[in-house]
Structure 1
Amino acid sequence: MASFFSDLWESVFTPGPTPTLLIATNVTFGALQIVLAVLLYATYSVHFVVLSVLCGGLWGAINWFAQELMVHQEQEEEKERRALAAKPPAVSSEDSETEVEEAATSTASLGKREPPAPKVVVATSLETDVEASQGELKHRLQAEEGSSQGLKSSVSTEDEWERVSENEDGKDK
């Protein structure tokens, strides 16, 4: 009995369903079903019937899930065995190139390529900005110097809220 509890404690920290854990789960759910049956007999309450059905559903779902996990583990182990059996014998490291060496060789044979140029914004004057992006030029016009807004990029939400509040004041009058 002491070995069962020590195995149960160790199986909690072991991944996957272990036989000891499944036995403890089934015994616990069986005891819960007995308690619910006794309470049903003592109180004749429909609540214990519902709880018993829920308990039975959960009990079955846990056992089904544990079975599926075991089947999946067996399939994974079989795949690993097949992969090891199909793996060709190892060649000495002097005769073969590593992936890093192959990548370095292929990069050197292609020559050096420069990465694409980053997006650059060049200011040519106060009135225009030229945006250079991968060979394309785009002109952006700025606002006139004498306007109350200044540059387009300097307009803030605060300025817009002031204009809205001015318009509302004009409507109230």
Structure 2
Amino acid sequence: MTTFLEDLWGSIFTPGTTPTLLIATNASFAALQFVLLLLLLATYSIHFLVLSILSAALWYAINWFAQELQIEHARAAAQEQQNSREKSQEPGSDTETEIDTQMPLPKNPSPSTDMPTATGHLQATLSAPDDDLRRRRSLGDSSGYVSTDSEWEQVSEGGSKI
């Protein structure tokens, strides 16, 4: 039982479904169905029947999804095995490293007649200081926000209406 709980705890941090997690899920849903059956027999309330049907549908959906995941993992493993088999049969494929080749970069155009106005305009825009975009000086507050008296008056007027 201890190893099952340790495996269950480890399966929580493992991506995907694990057999231990599926066993715990199925045991939990079986216990839930049993409790709902007991409550149905004790109270004869249709609510427990509806809850039981919803629980059974969710239980089925979880098991169906886990089965589909296993089928897809098996299909992906078979495809990967087939790709590796095909790669090993190709001549000259004794290593699996790839070499990146760099394409030669085009030479930069001279700023003569290609784009004289755009380049000149961009350089003039970047180098010209703009007086309108000066930073405000902070008066001790690290956020740079300075409140005004009118804001405090609005706050005090809003508070006196209560």
TM-score norm. by structure 1 comes to 0.56
> Which of residues 91, 94, 112 is equivalent to 1:90?
94
Letter of the 2:64 partner, please give it. W
**d(CA) in 1 for partners of 2:8, 2:51:** 27
Q: Distance in 2 between matches of 1:41 and 1:7?
A: 36
Q: Report which of the two has the higher share of strand.
A: 1
User: For 1:79-131, what per-residue CA distance to the aligned partner results, in whole angstroms no more than 9, with x for missing partners?
Assistant: 111111111332699xxx9332xx33xx36xx5365x96994999xxxxxxxx
CA distance in 1, matches of 2:118, 2:96: 51
2:35 equivalent to 1:35: yes
Over 3 Å counting, the alpha-carbon distance change for 1:7 and 1:117 in structure 2 is: farther
Give distance in 2, aligned partners of 1:77 and 1:47: 45
Percent of aligned positions that are identical: 47
Query: CA–CA distance in 1 between the matches of 2:38 and 2:116?
Result: 76
Deviations 1:49-79 (A, max 9, x none): 1100000000000000000000111111111
Question: What residue ranges of structure 2 are gaps of 5+ in the alignment?
Answer: 122-162
Give the greater-gyration-radius structure (CA): 1
TM superposition score normalised by structure 2: 0.60
Cα distance in structure 1, aligned partners of 2:68 and 2:117: 53
Give the letter for the 2:57 counterpart.
G
Tell me how many residue pairs correspond in the alignment.
113
Runs of 4+ in 1 over 3 A off after TM superposition: 111-114, 116-123
Distance 1:31 1:92, change over 3 A: closer
- Alignment correspondent of 1:70: 70
Distance 1:91 1:26, change over 3 A: closer
Q: CA RMSD in A?
A: 3.0
In the alignment, what sits opposite 2:26? 26
Structure 1 alignment gaps of length 5 or more = 124-173
Structure 1 window deviating more from structure 2 (49-58 vs 71-80): it is 71-80
